[in-house]
A and B are shown apart, each in its own frame.
Chain A
Amino acid sequence: MKDTQWPIYQVFHQEQPDRPHTNAGAVHAPDAELALQNARDVFVRRPDCVSLWVVPADQIFSLTAEEIERAGLPPTPAGNGDSQRYLVFLKRTQAGSHEHVGAVSASSGPAALGEAVRSFGTEEALVWWVVPEGLVERTDAAEVGSLFGPAKDKPYRDQAFYHTTTLMRQIRGRPRQET
């Protein structure tokens, strides 16, 4: 069956200016601009956030520690292609999320993965992601106030805070007041 859903974008959020961008999850969106809006609405209504990135999930090149163990690193290409910058993200633990660690230059996605493992080789990682830097849509620093500011001082209240169910039971248990 044809998948009629919109494409998936991976979302990376930054909680403080000195912290790396970390994978928050994914959203569906018809384009990058709406992906940023959906990311804001779905992932940063409450927690602190100073910056959001979204990238098309199908443009992410991925490599796992198991694959490296089985087949070795992708070979370094001859170096005749035009190279571009790729952002590198590592997932270090099973329960952890992909975290931005830096960038490499390479002529293709697979080559960038090899470069990433060699450049950040001291890092123990389970999964490596690289994505062409040009495909990363970012929030504008000038918009931080309107995107992330308003939610900051709003308390999050669990449904149970309001005792609605208990009160409704009490009301229902009493005879109706006829007016």
Chain B
Amino acid sequence: MKAELREALANYLTAIGDDELILAHRDSEWAGHAPILEEDIGFANLALDELGHASIWYRLAAELLDEDPDRHPDALVFTRPASEFRNVQMVELPNGDWAFSMLRQYLFDASEQVRLSALAASKHPELAQAAVKIRTEELYHIRHTSAWVRRLGLGTQQSNRKMQTALDLLYPRALQLFTEETGEAELASAGLVPRPDRLLASWASQVSEELIASELRLPDGNLSTPAGRNAHTSHLEPLVAELQQVARLEAEIAW
């Protein structure tokens, strides 16, 4: 693989790893606070899975950059300034209510499903293998979150209203998952990653079917073009500060 492609692919993997990491962090904030004990455990399991996926993507990025695959992920997570994270804004927003957090997780899981199915055919064999492995776990995620989306959407007037409010806020932001980043067109031409517009099309048709069946309205009209992945809300910086707080106490201690 050419050097430019290696670097672009490492950036791509770091970006989707950042999505997983930041979402895992937000999800983990529900631990001890979810509506019932069983779901507290279930949602924490989802958070742990996403954290595990982040680690897989970061290791792959490290190998492409000839970095140490054990140390590079830690460096990315614990020493990088917030401004260098490449996650989408959707995952850094505060948790809000249960409807918001569950719908965010669902919209993200659906995007992972279409992305992983395409990445399973990547011409970078290690990436294809990782995608196949993660996809198995994501099958359970989508089962879990879509079951909740249906019940909250079809539940009571109150639960439907909360879901609709969350959807109006989240849907336009979810489109950011499919923006084309620098170097991504070249990666797609080389068969290393899928084209984002194709992913968007299959994601949109999958989620709209589920959301309409849950009696939720998709935002109408033309949605504005989403920002690129280097644009963040004011919520990311405090999140990263908290995430790195302990690591910054002692830079080189062995945990």
Contact = CB atoms under 8 A, between A and B. Distances in A.
A173 to B, nearest CB: 12
A94 B37 CA distance: 27
A1 B100 CA distance: 31
A38 B42 contact: yes
A127 interface: no
Contacts of A29: 38
B49 A150 contact: yes
Given A41-B41, A41-B42, A34 B255 contact: no
A146 interface: yes
Nearest to B253: A167
Contacts of A170: 253
Nearest to A35: B38
Interface string B228-241: 00000000000000
B137 A34 contact: no
Interface stretch (B2-10, B23-31, B118-126, B138-146): B138-146
Contacts of B137: 146, 150
Interface string A150-168: 1000100000001110011
Contacts of B181: none
A147 B140 contact: yes
B250 A171 contact: yes
A119 B143 CA distance: 39
A44 to B, nearest CB: 11
Interface residues of B, number: 22
Q: Which of A41, A143, A162, A168 has the most CB of B within 10 A?
A: A41
Interface size bracket, A side: 20 to 34
B41 A164 contact: no
B45 interface: yes
Q: Which of A29, A34, A143, A170 has the most CB of B within 10 A?
A: A34
A33 B139 contact: no
Given A30-B151, A167-B255, A171-B250, A42 B136 contact: no
A148 to B, nearest CB: 9
A38 B255 contact: no
A145 interface: yes
Given A6-B36, A145-B136, A146-B136, A37 B143 contact: yes
B136 to A, nearest CB: 5
A37 B136 contact: no
Contacts of A6: 36
Interface string B200-232: 000000000000000000000000000000000
Given A28-B37, A41-B41, A163-B255, 14 more contacts: A28-B36, A29-B38, A33-B147, A34-B151, A37-B144, A41-B45, A42-B42, A45-B45, A145-B136, A150-B136, A164-B255, A168-B246, A171-B249, A171-B250
18 contacts: A6-B36, A28-B36, A28-B38, A37-B42, A37-B143, A41-B38, A41-B41, A41-B42, A41-B144, A42-B38, A42-B41, A146-B139, A146-B143, A149-B136, A150-B136, A154-B52, A167-B253, A171-B249
